[in-house]
Amino acid sequence: MRILCLVLLLVGCSQKHLDIKIEGFQTHRDNYKELMQLGVILEPELGNDFREDMMDELRACSTFKGVKLLKTDVELSGDKSKDVKSKFEAMVKKDATARAQNGILALDLINKKVSTSMEKSTAFSYRDKKSLIWSKNFGVPSRNEFGFAQKFEIAPERRISRKPIFIRNATFDFKIKYALYNRVTDKVVIEGAEEVKSSFSNYSRKPALTKSDVQDAIFKGVQTRIIAKICGQKKPLMEQVYLARGETAADNVANEGFELAKQGRWKLAADKWEDAISKNKAHVIAHHNLGVYFEYLGEPQKSLYHYKKVSGSGKRHILKPRLDRYLATYQIPDFSKPMLPQIAFITGGHWVYVHAGKQKLKVGKSYSIYRIEMTRTETDQIVTGTHIREVGKLRLLRKDGEFYQGRTRQTVVDYPILPGDFLVI
């Protein structure tokens, strides 16, 4: 196990808090005991791009000092951990390079089904006429209020024609099983599977997205989720545990935990903070310190309960609220990367407004429009994959403030373009 990094800060003559380096594991840190040199087994069916990206991500982990790709194989299709462990042991006996590693990580593509089909359909094509018409601007209020807009708008008349098309469908059913074997503790310490069931439909002769693009994106998403289980945060977090300022029985017990934390005796410290909460269920310092402890330990799901207690206390004992930081770290998706331009609204005159954020689009160019929907289980609504469907084309005419303005050029029957659809560039 890594040595906990403590920086003692002095305030006046008394120590008020400890700075703690949290590496952001999502699995118990005991799993990484003395695990410095990592051997990686990636079967060829995962593809060269996936293999190279996976190795780059693992080498960027602060968890490991060395990462080496092993030229061997481990079958992970067994259902029981002891079966997987025996397979690792048998492989290590045969492979001298594997014996030089503290741990072995194996990824096995145990299910790869890609099926394709084609169906006939119809697209509506739209062309602007020279003549102009006035349209009621339903649904886009001229003020910040609900209801119908109060103004009319002017827009070119449209000529509508029908065009037969062929929709190409592809469905993807992938399952990647992964396991991390710690040779020091002789245990399979991390084991799991990522399963994705997604589909993709397009009809353009030169589509903005292809089947291989979607498959690569699926594998990248799976890779990201596996890395999150194996590695901690790329940049470790700095947190603090605090000394209680009062002199109640709960304060005294919480401070005993603080003194134990100074000595690196974290399990005993956590017991003291639990004891303080048993004496005072709303003890802010004990809740906060336990939240930090569980996050350091690699069990952030247990931290949430305690950070919520601190956030809802209404007290200012702890200067920086941790709940927002926690949610941003573990639960809220990261949208720091540029997002796809998205259709914001469509007016009664068929003007389409696209919000592109930091993305730059070309006025006068036509773009394919895709609808991206989650596929979910019927009962518990767990997301199992993504359905991506090409629903039409749009031509941009001008930039209007934060929006690009354009008009629909084509739609697929039964799939009118809607707010929330995306432009793929």
Quick one: what percent of the chain has pLDDT higher than 70? 89
Say whether pLDDT at 4 is over 50: no
Rounded CA separation 241/20 (Å): 8
Confidence of residue 318 (pLDDT cuts 50, 70, 90): low
- Cβ neighbours for 324, distance < 8 A, ≥ 6 positions apart: none
| Res. 144 pLDDT band, cuts 50 70 90 | low
User: Mean pLDDT highest for which of 317-321, 399-403, 409-413?
Assistant: 409-413
232 vs 156: which has the higher pLDDT: 156
Highest mean pLDDT among 6-20, 108-122, 304-318, 334-348: 108-122
Give the percent of the chain with pLDDT over 90: 59
Is the predicted pLDDT of residue 237 greater than 60, yes or no? Answer: yes
Looking at residues 135-156, what average pLDDT do you find?
72
The pLDDT of residue 13 is above 60: no
User: What would the DSSP string read from start to end of 142-190?
Assistant: SSSSSS--S-EEEEEEEEEEEEEEEEEEEEEEEEEEEEEEETTTTEEEE
Enumerate domains of the chain plus CATH numbers. 6-20+235-331 (1.25.40.10), 29-115+170-230 (3.40.50)
Whole-angstrom Cα Rg for the chain? 28
Residue 199 confidence (pLDDT): 96
More confident residue, 137 or 55: 55
Does the pLDDT at position 124 exceed 90? yes
Counting every residue written for the chain, the total comes to 425
Spatial distance between the Cα atoms of 59 and 63, rounded to a whole number of angstroms: 9
What is the pLDDT averaged over residues 263-279?
Answer: 95
Q: How confident is the model at residue 5 (pLDDT cuts 50, 70, 90)?
A: very low
pLDDT at residue 264 is higher than 70 = yes
Q: The tokens 């990201």 sit on which residue?
A: 224
State residue 140's pLDDT score.
64
Residue 225 has pLDDT above 70, yes or no: yes
The predicted pLDDT at position 425 comes to 83
Mean pLDDT along residues 36-41: 94
Count helices and strands in the chain by DSSP H and E runs:
9, 14
| Per-residue confidence (pLDDT) for residue 79, from 0 to 100 | 58
Q: Calculate the CA dihedral of residues 17, 23, 26, 32 and round it to 10 degrees.
A: -110
pLDDT at residue 34, as a whole number: 86
Give the pLDDT band (50/70/90) at residue 80: low
Arithmetic mean of pLDDT over the chain: 87
> Dihedral sign, CA of 116, 120, 121, 125?
positive
When pLDDT is averaged across residues 160-178 and rounded to a whole number, the result is 95
Asked whether the beta carbons of 258 and 238 are under 8 A apart, the reply is: no
Nearest to 226 by CA among 109, 143, 370: 109
Where is pLDDT greater, at 24 or 49?
49
What integer pLDDT is reported at residue 3 of this predicted model? 36
Confidence at residue 335, expressed as pLDDT on a 0 to 100 scale: 65
pLDDT at 234 over 80: no
